[in-house]
A and B are shown apart, each in its own frame.
Chain A
Amino acid sequence: MTDVWSLYSEKVMEHFKNPRNVGEIENPDGVGHVGNPVCGDIMELYIKVKDDIIADAKFKTFGCGAAIATSSIVTEMVKGKRIEEALKISNRAVAEALDGLPPVKMHCSVLAEEALRSAIEDYLEHQKLKRQT
């Protein structure tokens, strides 16, 4: 028998216990806000972009263990990535980076992907406006 029975992989629990990049970024270049209180998960993702590269990422999350872990790992995954590379990060990649999620929790990885996409779209929108003015 194993010593500890857990719903989640060790990697998920590690990120849950010690989430990386918690907080907000002052004057962010992009903010993603996804989820709603009804489904029980709300994620906010902040990015700072320099020369088309994501220089910093932070998050705030209201949600379950998987929601916190996927938020945490996605901030790690995007740091140092070019915008177009970051846009390619799928929910599967997020789940795989955590050594998998229970089937009922896969929606949390979808939420992390959506939060990232929403933050990048927010950034690109700002860029467009800047160019127009």
Chain B
Amino acid sequence: MRRIYLDHAATTPTRPEVVKSMLPFFTDAFGNASSIHSYGQEAKGAIEDARTKVAELIGARSEEIVFTSGGTEADNYALKGVAYANEHKGNHIITTTIEHHAVLAVCKFLERRGFRITYLPVDKYGLVATDDVKRAITDKTILVSVTHANNEVGTIEPVEEIGKIAREAGVYFHSDAVQTVGHIPVNVDKLKADLLAISAHKFYGPKGVGALYVRKGTRLVSLMHGGEQEKRRRAGTENVPGIVGLGKAVELAGQEMGKEAERLTYLRDKLIKGLMEKIDHIRLNGHPTRRLPNNINVSVDFVEGESLLLNLDLEGICASTGSACSSASLEPSHVLLALGLPPEQAHGSLRFTLGRENTEADVEQVLEVLPGIVAKLRAMSPLLKSQK
């Protein structure tokens, strides 16, 4: 059976060009970048080359890029790093209710250790109000952290305005840009970002590698102590093949993302329109236009997300849900709840995230298969009856 992968927000396949660029650094060019000899210098050169590429893509200087093990580490480094380096200035951090767990769980951790966190609400589309940011800033505020675009519903936040507000107040601004870098233009100066998290595997790079942009002059403590790698900002022998792969993925994204975003936006809107036409009692989650080019998130009334996913999987279609049943916590997606969805609609959510390999035929296949699945599950749903 032909499998259709529609879960690119979870991860993407590593592009063959990326894999090819990485391979020599496992074998022939295996050196430790800290070594003086030619092997070491070869590895070091490759790392610096990748650093330049990452910096160029986001309008930064190469010395402002710190390689990490991925988006989660980058977010941890930004939040804990700023919090513990600026304790003398204040203990207040502002974030939102729809951040990725890599930000939210860190905020909870800091809260237990004496920091005060403001979680800004969002509107029904998932948008943060810039006025709320302004109002939340106090003389104790040291950091504002707002995601560039939400990973579940795809809403693109007004980060440029938020960055401006933070800058004017003299507060650091961090943005989790894991869902946007490599997909839509990201420029750290436009965003007025002091910190920005990047993950390679979200744009056809390898897993286990990412980066944190750190604006020159930003005070933050390291998470990893040991050797002097990454100018003492992140100890540990560099993941050279991973970093090279990240560099290659960045290079390819820079060349192709404009056209690709246009193509995906067309497919996205076709799928949204088709779903609305073919299935009744269905609604779009997130913003209709301020939205990632590849994100489709809908709630299907009266049915539960995991059972939708399993049925789609049986048809070879791989998607995702915000239903509790897919997690150990039994809590539905915090993002969908923050948008104001009642729990049963959050449980009935379905996310399709498109990518490079997807075609119009894939979108048509979803539209062909999903209405039948919904009808089958609704026939056994006790919720439908109570609505009549």
A92 within 8 A of B: no
CB distance from A106 to the nearest CB of B (A): 11
Q: How far is the CB of B379 from chain A (nearest CB, A)?
A: 7
Docked Cα-Cα span, A64 to B385, in Å, equals: 19
* A23: nearest chain-B partner, CB-CB: B380
Residues of A within 8 A of B141 (CB): none
> How far apart are A46's CB and chain B's nearest CB, in angstroms?
11
> A residues within 8 A CB of B379?
22
Contacts of B385 in A (CB 8 A): 24, 60
Q: Is A122 an interface residue (CB 8 A)?
A: no
Contact with B along A19-39 (1 / 0, CB 8 A): 100111000000001000111
Residues of B within 8 A of A67 (CB): 304, 307, 325
Q: Is A113 an interface residue (CB 8 A)?
A: no
Tell me if A62 and B381 are in contact (CB < 8 A).
Answer: yes
Interface of A is mostly: mixed
Residue from B307, B314, B328 within 8 A of A63 (CB atoms): B307
- Which A85-133 residues have a C-beta within 8 angstroms of B? 104, 107
A39-B324 in contact (CB<8A):
yes
Question: Which of B302, B314, B325, B328 neighbours the largest number of chain A CB atoms within 10 Å of its CB?
Answer: B325
Chain B 337-366 near chain A by CB (<8 Å), digits 1 or 0: 000001110010000000000000000000
Q: Is the CB of A64 within 8 A of B381?
A: no
Contact B330 A65 (CB under 8 A): no
Instruction: Give the residue name and chain of the B residue nearest to A59 (CB).
Output: B380
Chain A, interface size category, equals 20 to 34
Q: A40-B323, A104-B328 are in contact. Are A65 and B307 (CB under 8 A)?
A: yes
- Cβ distance B167 to chain A, nearest Cβ, rounded Å: 41
B152 within 8 A of A: no
Contact check: which of B332, B343, B380 meets A19 at CB < 8 Å?
Answer: B380
Interface size on B, residues (CB 8 A): 26
Q: How distant is A79 from chain B, measured CB to nearest CB, in Å?
A: 18
- Cβ distance B316 to chain A, nearest Cβ, rounded Å: 11
Which of A38, A42, A63 gathers the greatest number of chain B CB atoms within 10 Å? A63
> Is A60 touching B381 in the complex (CB atoms < 8 A)?
yes
Alpha-carbon distance A38/B325, docked complex (angstroms): 11
Q: A22-B379, A22-B380 are in contact. Are A64 and B326 (CB under 8 A)?
A: yes
Task: Kindly state whether residue B303 has any CB partner on chain A within 8 Å.
Answer: yes
Q: How many contacts A-B (CB < 8 Å)?
A: 75
Q: Is the CB of A17 within 8 A of B307?
A: no
Among B323, B324, B326, B382, which residue has its beta carbon within 8 angstroms of that of A61?
A: B382
Distance in Å: Cβ of A125 to nearest Cβ of chain B: 21
A77 to B339, CA, bound (A): 42
Which chain B residues lie closer than 8 Å to A61 at the CB level? 380-382
Task: Give the residues in chain A near B304, CB-CB below 8 Å.
Answer: 40-41, 62-64, 67
A49 interface residue (CB < 8 Å to B): no
A40 and B307 contact, Cβ closer than 8 Å, known pairs A17-B314, A22-B379, A64-B326: no
Give complex CA distance A93, B124 in Å.
44
CB-contact partner of B302 in A24, A59, A62, A65, under 8 A: A62
Report the bound CA distance from A43 to B381 in whole Å.
Answer: 9
A61 to B325, CA, bound (A): 14
Most buried by B among A19, A39, A62: A62
Alpha-carbon distance A68/B385, docked complex (angstroms):
17
A sample of 28 cross-chain residue pairs with beta-carbon separation below 8 angstroms, ordered by A number, consists of A13-B310, A16-B310, A22-B379, A22-B380, A23-B380, A37-B343, A39-B330, A40-B304, A40-B323, A40-B332, A41-B304, A42-B382, A42-B383, A44-B382, A60-B380, A60-B382, A60-B385, A61-B380, A62-B304, A62-B382, A63-B307, A64-B305, A64-B307, A64-B310, A65-B306, A67-B307, A68-B380, A104-B328
Which 9 A-B pairs give the minimum distances between C-beta atoms? A64-B325, A64-B306, A37-B344, A60-B382, A40-B347, A40-B324, A104-B328, A44-B382, A38-B343
